[in-house]
Structure 1
Amino acid sequence: MASIIAGVEFHTDPPPGASSAPKIEQDAPALLGLHREAPNLHIYTASSINYEALNRINDRSITTLPVATVRPTDETEVATAVRYISQNGLTLAIRSSGVDQGGRSRASGPKDVSLDVRSLDKMVLSADRQHVTVEGGVSSEALLKFLDNHDLATPTPLSRVVGYVGFACGGGYSSWNGTMGLAADNILGGRIALADGRIVDTEDADCDPDLLWTLRGGGAGVVGVVCSLRVRVHRRPSLLGGLVAFPQKEAPQITERLAKLYAWKKPNKLVADVGIVNRPESGGQFFFLFVWALDEDRSDLDEATDYLDRILGLGTVVINTVQQTTPYLFTMSIKTPVLFADLIFSRKTVSVPVWSEELGHILSEPLPNSTSIVVIHDRHGTGTRGSDSTFVTNGAFLNREPHVMLGIIAAAPPDDEEGLRNSDAWVNRVFNGINAAGLAMPQKYINFSTPHKGDGIHYYGADGLDRIRSIKSRLDPSNLFAKSTPDLA
């Protein structure tokens, strides 16, 4: 069999309106040399049509715009742009989807350039159907759909617009972690554009031995621009999957019973992630995304159905959409929060080792509005340390013990001062309550975090932090990629 290249329906061309040389000289003269060196490279400046929309990201607290946006279409253009930016004293931020929780994908200073890789979106399935090459701008939905067309799957997030590379390199919590491992575990290799313009492949004989380790959970863009990843693929499982919802006020009862259920049996085939929302029509809901990856012959369907019945017995069921489905159909059936709305976000992330009634009491506090959510990933199975030696575990991702990771997120419009205060207060009450109860683990998840001083220790641990610092000193000595990197002080 030959390799398969994804069709044109998966490609997004750079938008019209790239700046001409006179416009670049007027708006961003520091990039005129880049335009002359690479005249086909799409460069957008402040006078470009829809420039604000081109640079729109999910959190409206960041309103300043970069001096220019560069939109490469291949890795050669990426390397040219990165080298030029580095040599000319400019700074950059790497944008794939623009939904990064910490605003790391938005360049906003007077010398900042946005490197927008969304048109770098080729996907190639290997001839042996064992891996897929994914370029840096591929969305998670595009990868999920492309693989689904060929009866394959790999860990992808529920949020369909998330950039796959940033998701995977940050660790990659997914509904398939129990059987397939974290997304980072499925990274087999990659190609990176370094600050000096070199393209390095992790399979090169002279490649830095820590580069692949860094890609597996260290975060995207730590030492360079990820032009592409090679990712392990799996047989597409049939699922028993869907949404099961209960009233939020029952959270203490549900979490107490869930802790007992998991102590009895917690199958690797099951990932029952949790969300807490405030629906205008029905109030607070505590819901499970019940996902059971069935055996190929579906001989475990009775076991899966029995476990579903036990989940349904946790509380008063108000929604149950669970049915036999596929990863693509399941993901597309889940309504996700509206993105790129006029909202400012307050967010915290924390992990706990297990479910408990005490945690349920904290999570029963009503959400401040309908644009707030608690996203909870429950990790076990092949996504945890030592559970399956066939999966990659030699990576920078730190939290390998079974755990429950919470993303506590609230939002309000920029002109709603009271709403913003209430959102921030609620996030802090939930976060501080978990910490005050002694439930929190020290590790944090980079994809759900906002930057703060010294945060590298929470993502990498002491030994991992030293290793990240060392590879940064070798491959990015001028710290060009500081925007993408947790604070390493």
Structure 2
Amino acid sequence: MTSITAGPEYHSPPPPGASSTAAIEQDAPALLDLHRQVPNLHIYTATSPDFDILNRVNDRSITTLPLATVRPTDEAQIAAAVCYISQNGLTLAIRNSGVDQGGRSRAHGPKDVSLDVRSMNKMVLSADRRTVTIDGGVTGGNLLRFLDTHGLTTPTAFSTTVGYVGWACGGGYSSLNGIMGMGVDNILGGRVVLADGRVMDTDDADCDPDLLWTLRGGGAGIVGVVSCLRVRVHRRPDCLAGLILFPLEETPQIAQKLNELYAWKKPPKFAGDAAVMNRAEGDGAWLSYLFHWSLEEDRSDLDEAKDYLERVLNMGSVIMNAVTESEKATPYAFLLSIPMPVLYADLVYHKRTISVPGWSEELGRIISEPLPTPTSMIIMHDSHGAGTRASGAAFEENAAFQNREPHLMFGIFPSAHPDDEEGMKKGRAWADRLFDGVTKAGLAMPSHYINFSTPAKGDGLGYYGREGIVRIRAVKRRLDPSNLFAKSTPDIAEI
């Protein structure tokens, strides 16, 4: 067999409308020499068509535009742009999707340049079908679709539009974590462009010894621009999977029954992620439960999976049961079946994240409060099996990602239209009330999740732990001494 490169249907070329030399000289003269040095590099400035749309991110609270957006198409262009930005006193933000909850993918000021890698989306499946090499702009949905056509899969985000690099380097929750580990556990190597334009490959003998550890949970872009990752792939399992909806008011009893079910049996091949969101018709909210069972290759555990499903269905009043099993029920098909909120809408978000060891009636009571606005939601990701210490794996020396105990990770996301100040006020109060309720009940774990968090003073300690943050600081000093990549980095200062 030979390696396989994904076709043009997976590629997003730079949009038309890149600025001319005259426009760059007028709008962003600080980038004029970069344009002359790399004339094929696409640079978009304020007078470029759809400049604001090109720079739109998921949270409309960020309304300022950068000095310019540069859209490289290869690693050499990344290196040239990064080196130039560093040497000319400009600042930088790296974008590979624009749905980062903390706004780290968006440049904010008159000296900020947005390095948009979304046109770098090459994917190459190895000849032995064990790894895939992906560029920094590949989305999880495209990666999963490409692998699916070859009978393969790997853990990816629950949204097709989320950039794989940002998702995986920050941790990476998935319905496949129990049998395949988290996103960080499937990063085998990668290439990173440093502030001085050098490219460092984790496979090279002279690579910094902690670079791979940093990529596995330190967050994307903490010491440089990830130009590509080498990712482990797996046999694609058939699935018994789909969405189950329960009334929100039944959440306390369902949470207690889930606790009892998991205490009895919780196979790694099972995943039970969940969400709280309003019904499409506006008639209250529901608890959305994502049932996912990865079947054995011979499907010999199908009856076991169906029995487990029946136990879940008996936990409450089922509004809808969309769980199916067929030859076409693959992880990619499951991903496409999940209802997702509209991205890049006119919404302002407030974000809180907290993790707990597991379900309980008290937890269910806290999160069953009615949602403050129609677009607010709670997302709950379930971590157990291969992604945790319970599997017997040793993670401390291999990955910066901190929370390796079995747990539920919550993202609490109130949102409202930018003009709805009252809605946002209610949403913030609701999110803070839920967060405080979980904390005061003694349910909270100490670690936080970088991909669901807004940057805050001292937050690095919550992501990396006391030993991890010392190691992160040392890597940062060695590889990014000028702190060019400050926007991608949690606060790792001494506090």
Identify the TM-score tier after normalising by the shorter chain.
over 0.9
In 1: Cα distance, 2:53 partner to 2:359 partner: 41
Q: Which residue of 1 is the match for residue 434 of structure 2? A: 430
Q: Which residue of 1 is the match for residue 203 of structure 2? A: 203
> Residue 478 in 1 paired to residue 479 in 2?
no
Q: Residue by residue, what CA displacement relative to the aligned partner does 1:303-337 show, whole Å, maximum 9, x if unpaired?
A: 10000011111111111000111111110011100
How far 1:283 sits from its partner (Å)? 1.5
Q: Runs of 5+ in structure 2 lacking a partner?
A: none
Alignment of 1:102-181 (within 5 A): 102-181=102-181
Alpha carbons 1:382, 1:391 under 8 Å: kept: no
Q: Which residue of 1 is the match for residue 388 of structure 2? A: 384
Q: Which residue of 2 is the match for residue 18 of structure 1? A: 18
In 2: Cα distance, 1:180 partner to 1:313 partner: 29
In 2: Cα distance, 1:347 partner to 1:471 partner: 28
* 3-state SS in 1 of match to 2:134: strand
In 2: Cα distance, 1:312 partner to 1:256 partner: 14
How far 1:392 sits from its partner (Å)? 9.7
Taking a change above 3 Å as real, the CA distance of residues 393 and 142 of structure 1, as seen in their structure-2 partners, is farther
2:347 to 340, 343, 354: 343
> Residue 292 in 1 paired to residue 293 in 2?
yes
Q: Residue by residue, what CA displacement relative to the aligned partner does 1:120-159 show, whole Å, maximum 9, x if unpaired?
A: 1000000000000010000111001000010000001111
Which range is displaced more, 386-395 or 120-129? 386-395
- Residue identity matched to 2:250: E
In 1: Cα distance, 2:243 partner to 2:43 partner: 44
Q: Which residue of 2 is the match for residue 37 of structure 1? A: 37
* 3-state SS in 1 of match to 2:428: helix
Q: Which residue of 1 is the match for residue 187 of structure 2? A: 187
* 3-state SS in 1 of match to 2:277: strand
In 2: Cα distance, 1:168 partner to 1:38 partner: 31
Which range is displaced more, 329-338 or 387-396? 387-396
Q: Which residue of 2 is the match for residue 301 of structure 1? A: 302
In 2: Cα distance, 1:388 partner to 1:239 partner: 25
Q: Which residue of 2 is the match for residue 225 of structure 1? A: 225
Taking a change above 3 Å as real, the CA distance of residues 391 and 238 of structure 1, as seen in their structure-2 partners, is farther
Q: Which residue of 1 is the match for residue 77 of structure 2? A: 77
In 2: Cα distance, 1:173 partner to 1:392 partner: 18
In 1: Cα distance, 2:396 partner to 2:355 partner: 22
Q: Runs of 5+ in structure 1 lacking a partner?
A: none
TM-score (norm 1): 0.99
How far 1:386 sits from its partner (Å)? 5.2
How far 1:391 sits from its partner (Å)? 8.7
In 1: Cα distance, 2:405 partner to 2:324 partner: 30
How far 1:390 sits from its partner (Å)? 9.5
How far 1:388 sits from its partner (Å)? 4.9
In 1: Cα distance, 2:66 partner to 2:193 partner: 21
> Residue 94 in 1 paired to residue 94 in 2?
yes
Q: Which residue of 2 is the match for residue 234 of structure 1? A: 234
In 2: Cα distance, 1:468 partner to 1:229 partner: 20
How far 1:389 sits from its partner (Å)? 4.0
Q: Which residue of 1 is the match for residue 318 of structure 2? A: 317
Q: Residue by residue, what CA displacement relative to the aligned partner does 1:152-184 show, whole Å, maximum 9, x if unpaired?
A: 000011111000000000010001001100010
TM-score (norm 2): 0.98
Q: Which residue of 1 is the match for residue 50 of structure 2? A: 50
In 2: Cα distance, 1:287 partner to 1:227 partner: 36
- Residue identity matched to 1:471: V
Q: CA RMSD in A?
A: 1.1
> Residue 374 in 1 paired to residue 378 in 2?
yes
How far 1:369 sits from its partner (Å)? 2.1
Q: Residue by residue, what CA displacement relative to the aligned partner does 1:222-268 show, whole Å, maximum 9, x if unpaired?
A: 00000000000000010000011110001110111111111111111
- Residue identity matched to 1:191: R
How far 1:69 sits from its partner (Å)? 0.3
Alpha carbons 2:117, 2:137 under 8 Å: kept: yes
* 3-state SS in 2 of match to 1:31: helix
Q: Which residue of 1 is the match for residue 419 of structure 2? A: 415
Alignment of 1:426-465 (within 5 A): 426-465=430-469
In 2: Cα distance, 1:241 partner to 1:82 partner: 43
Question: Sequence identity, in percent?
Answer: 66
- Residue identity matched to 1:231: V
How far 1:428 sits from its partner (Å)? 1.0
In 1: Cα distance, 2:266 partner to 2:178 partner: 10
Alignment of 1:393-408 (within 5 A): 394-408=398-412
Alpha carbons 1:138, 1:163 under 8 Å: kept: yes
* 3-state SS in 2 of match to 1:465: helix
- Residue identity matched to 2:351: R
Q: Which residue of 1 is the match for residue 366 of structure 2? A: 362
Alpha carbons 1:385, 1:393 under 8 Å: kept: no
* 3-state SS in 2 of match to 1:53: helix
Which range is displaced more, 57-66 or 368-377? 368-377
How far 1:370 sits from its partner (Å)? 2.1
Paired residues, what number? 489
Alpha carbons 1:170, 1:217 under 8 Å: kept: yes
Which range is displaced more, 370-379 or 70-79? 370-379
How far 1:394 sits from its partner (Å)? 1.1
How far 1:419 sits from its partner (Å)? 1.0
Which range is displaced more, 303-312 or 429-438? 429-438
* 3-state SS in 1 of match to 2:161: coil
- Residue identity matched to 1:315: G
Alpha carbons 1:186, 1:391 under 8 Å: kept: no
In 1: Cα distance, 2:346 partner to 2:388 partner: 37
Alpha carbons 2:213, 2:397 under 8 Å: kept: no
Alpha carbons 2:237, 2:294 under 8 Å: kept: yes
Alpha carbons 1:185, 1:392 under 8 Å: kept: no
Alpha carbons 2:384, 2:390 under 8 Å: kept: no
Q: Which residue of 2 is the match for residue 487 of structure 1? A: 491
In 2: Cα distance, 1:157 partner to 1:485 partner: 21
> Residue 267 in 1 paired to residue 292 in 2?
no
In 1: Cα distance, 2:193 partner to 2:390 partner: 32
* 3-state SS in 2 of match to 1:229: strand
In 1: Cα distance, 2:382 partner to 2:231 partner: 23
